[in-house]
Structures are given as structure tokens and as C-alpha cells.
Amino acid sequence: MKETQIVQGQVEKTSTTERISGSEAIVKCLIEEGVDLLYGYPGGAIMPVYDDLYKYQDKIHHVLCRHEQGATHSAQGYARISGKVGVAMATSGPGATNLITGIADAQIDSTPMVCITGQVPSHLLGSDAFQETDIVGISTPITKWNHQITKASEIPEVIAKAFYIAKSGRPGPVLVDITKDAQFEEFDFRYEKCSGIRSYKPVPETDKEALKVAADFINNAKKPLVVWGQGVILGEAEEEFKAVIEKAGIPSAWTILGASAIPTSHPLNVGMVGMHGNYAPNILTNECDVLIAIGMRFDDRVTGSLNTYAKQAKIIHFEIDPAEVDKNVKTDVAVLGDAKDSLKQLLPLLNPNSHIGWRQRFKDLYKIEFEKVIKADLHPTKDGLTMGEVLKEINVQTKGEAAIVTDVGQHQMIACRYAEFNESKSNITSGGLGTMGFGLPAAIGAKMAAPDREVISISGDGGYQMTIQELGTIFQTKAAVKVVVLNNDFLGMVRQWQQLFFDKRYASTEMVNPDFVAIAKGYHLNAKRVTKREELASAVEEMIASKEPYFLEVCVEKEDNVFPMIPSGASVSDIRLE
């Protein structure tokens, strides 16, 4: 059946309808949105959708993860490396609640994701039926938007909105909960993508006057410093960002989610800010006269004590989300809007500059950090292996072309500090939520989204065991993820804090670990363990050369610490080198 309708009183549009079930409509909606991969776990309340997925295997591939949390992290990894919306699906009750950690992670790290959950039939809602939970109520604080569907006719419009909201403006997760009777119900299906929602303006219009003020501050600065975040990557503004800093000659530092927007080797890339960031950009945050924040939210791990953070500087904030402006750090001028557009408009307003003397300060402080920290991490003289030298060897073998996906802990900070990135979207990690267990499933999603890229998962022995079951997903899908576990038999980051601030009382942080290589081989993966320095290079070479999934355990020093370090709540000026 064909219907003709007038859209906004101007455009005549003809679309075809067909009578199908709600469950089939869900699958067709996903196909219309260009979804080719989704991650999930079946169960009773979502079973009709899985039945229809079976019919459309030639158009959309479902990946059976081993846990619903793994499905969300895989969807996140897929989204982070591809720029598309990741999709995860689960049944009601525990299936839905198992998605929560990944949803919260995606919300705070601005990852576009649509989660679809099954729900008990609508006449049972509120009755404490088997596997009923109020997932809409539970997920409201950690989603960009959520909605419960009880009628099949709602499905096309709601799913179209879900994808639009997840991807537009500042991205984030959306959850759609669909009752089982709505999945069985038939209706006349027609799909139209959403291109706008009344009262929802995801991208603020850039204020040209604010741009002029910002340009004036930058042009008159003697000691400018850029701190950029993931907003540059999410806005696909890498080229515009590079053009701005190169024209103005501004040293630029990154948050962990901003890493890889420009190459590690770029002369204006002065390293990472924050608790375990580089010495120079942290120290000089409190010496710069203009601080230009681009697509970052002044997280506490970046700022340390707000009472002492960059008080001497004029603060310029380029930001797409008005809620982030003045939330933590008071700005002198805020430039709202899409990063790509704002930076493009800023560029002609800037005067060429080089700031040679100011940039030399960063080089001088880097030399101090190199002598006190970096040299020991990358060129150790002790017998035990360091995490830093493992990253150095990976850099050599991959030439900085790999996508590095990490868990959370010491290995994460070491990977962020020492991995070399030559391509954007190469550092995939859990930033704001700090989710242990993120790395392995996220690497699966990243590899499936970018099969031609080398994707290396780097975990500690603690976080790895939180989602170790996803080795089964690797085995079943043959996703050629390279899995590296840096094993120090400790919950390393917590142990470091216990050593430094709790008089070495290692309460519940020492791990008694299984045979990781045997477990990997149980999943039929190629696997190797390295315990000596002379074994490392050949093992990494063998791993990178493999066209199949590969597991590499590297036994590292048990009580190595990650420095520099800013103690919690201290000023960035109080950064410790030892």
C-alpha cells in the first residue's frame, strides 16, 4: 500500500507501507539506519526480535557476546573507532540490568549507542512479573534519552528518534524498551529517518562575537596553552584543529579521550594532562596566560584542585554542550557550537605566531621528566620487565598504526602515556567512568568495525578477568584481536595508592591468578607467556604477524608505580615525579 503525505506543508513524500510484526519492524528499522552489526544476548522477552533477525542474516549480523555488559562495551568499541552508532540488545530483567555499566560508561564518554531491551507484556507491567524490571526508570540518569514502547505502531518513530538523538550534537546512549506484545502485534510499517525534533537543538549556533573575543585573547597571548579532548574527534575536526594550532604556534596537550586527534610526534603535541599526565603540560597549566579548552569538560582528573587550577589565565572554552560551560571552571569566553565549524571560523581570525620561547619551556620540563621517569620506564636497568617497555615494543612492531584499546588501571595510564598514535580514533579506553573489564569486549567491537586495522587490547590481570568470558566471542567470531595482559599479580593502581597513601597496607589487592595461557588455549587461541626481556621482541613480532586472534601474557614487575602523579585533590603544580 502506498501513502502520500505533505511534510511541513511543502514537500510531498510518497512512501510504501507493509503489514508486518513489531519484531520484524525493529529489524527493518535497524537496517534502514545502516546497522550492519549488533551485539547482544537473547532471552524470552526479546525472542521475537531474534526470530526475525534470523530471517535477515544477509543484511545484519548479530554477535552473540558472553555477557550483556560485553555487548555494550563491544558496541562502544564499534562506535568509537567507526564514528557510527553502536547497537546492543538484551532481554528484560537481568539482561537489561546487565547493560547498565556499559550505558553509564557511554554516557559519560559521549559514545553514540542505541540499546534495545525486551520487556514483559504490557498487561503485566508493574506486577513484578518474571524477569520484569523498570529499566526505563533505572537507566534514566545515565541515558541521553529513553522510551518504553507498548504498541507496535510506535516502533518506527521511536527508533528513528533514538538513532538521531544518539548521534546528534554531543553523542550518547539511548535505550528503547519494547514490550513483548508490541513485538508480536502487526501494523502497517513505514520508516522515515529522523532529521530533527521540535525543541531539541543538538548543536548551538556559534556566536561570532565570542569567536572574535577568543581570537583576540589568543593573538595577544604570550604563553597560550591548548587542552583538547574527545570533542575534536567526535566533531571530526582533526584537520581544522591542526590548522589552528599550527597557525598560532600553540603548544597543545590532550585528555586521555582526546589522544590521537593529531599524531603523537607532532611538534606542538606536548603530551597528556591530568593525574598521570606529562610533567610539562601539568606544571605549565598554572603558568600559561591563556588556556584554550577544546571539546573537553574539565574533569577532576584533569584539573586537580579547582581552587588552584589556571587561576592566572584567561579561559576560552570551545564546547558543544552548554551544560559543560562554567560547570567546573569559570570561563572568560565560551564558544558554543560544533568544533569543526567553530575552529574553521576561528582560523582566519588568528595571527601567525610561533611562541618559540614558551615552547622551549615544555621541552626543558620534558627533559626533567625523561631523566626521572621515562628513561626508567622505557629503558629499564632492573631485571623485571616494565609495562612501558612492552608499549615501546608494540610501537616498534606496529609503527604507531595500531588502535590501542585498554582496560582501566596502571596499564591504561602507561598505554596512554607511551603508545604512539599516527591515526585518529586510535586510543579507545574508558575515561570518565573508569570501567574495569572494558578493554577486551571493546576491542572486539573495534576490530569488527575496522577489520583492516591492527587492534590491540591491553589489560591488567584484574580488569581482564572481569570480562574474560568474551574470549568465547573471539573464538566464535574469529575476530583477529590481539590480547595483551600485563600481569603484575596485583590490582596495580589500587596497590600504588595503598603504597603511597596507606603505608603499604595492601588490603585485598594481591591477585592469585589462574594460568591465563591455558585459558586462552582452552578457547583455541594462539597464546604465549613472556617472563624475560629477551623473549619480548620476538613474542610481540609473532603476535603482530598473526592473522588470527592472539593472546600474549607479559609478566611485569609486581610493585612498579606509574609516575608522574598528582595526588587526589592536589594542585596540578604538585605533580610528583617519584
Active site residues: 68, 130-131, 180, 493
Q: Produce one character per residue of 428-437: b if its CB has 16 or more CB atoms within 10 Å, e if not.
A: bbbbbbbbbb
Tell me which residue of 42, 60, 160 sits closest to 96, measured CA to CA. 42
Strands (E), 26-144: 37-40, 61-64, 86-90, 113-119
Q: How many angstroms separate the CA atoms of 201 and 206, rounded?
A: 13
Q: Which of 29-66 are b and which e, b meaning 16 or more Cβ less than 10 Å from the residue's Cβ? A: bbeebebebbbbbbbebbebbbebbeeeeeebebbebb
Would you say 275 and 304 are in contact if contact means Cβ atoms under 8 Å apart?
yes
Name the β-bridge partners of 113: 86, 173
Residue 380 exposed, middle or buried by CB count within 10 Å (0-12, 13-18, 19+): middle
Grid coordinates given for 6: 505533505
- Cα separation of 30 and 95, whole Å? 20
CA of 113: how far to CAs of 83, 261, 322, in Å? Answer: 11, 21, 21
d(CA 228, CA 296): 6
Neighbours of 186 (CB within 10 A): 13
The Cα angle at residue 304 between residues 298 and 309, in degrees rounded to 5: 75
Residue 290, judged by CB atoms within 10 A of its CB (0-12, 13-18, 19+), counts as buried
| Number of neighbours of residue 339 by Cβ within 10 angstroms | 27
Rounded to whole angstroms, the Cα distance separating 491 from 500 reads 14
* SS3 (DSSP) at 31: helix
Angle at 459 between CA 425 and CA 138, to 5 degrees: 75
CA-to-CA separations, 272 to 43, 95, 282, 576, in angstroms, rounded:
43, 38, 8, 15
DSSP 374: I
Q: Are 259 and 278 in contact (CB under 8 A)?
A: no
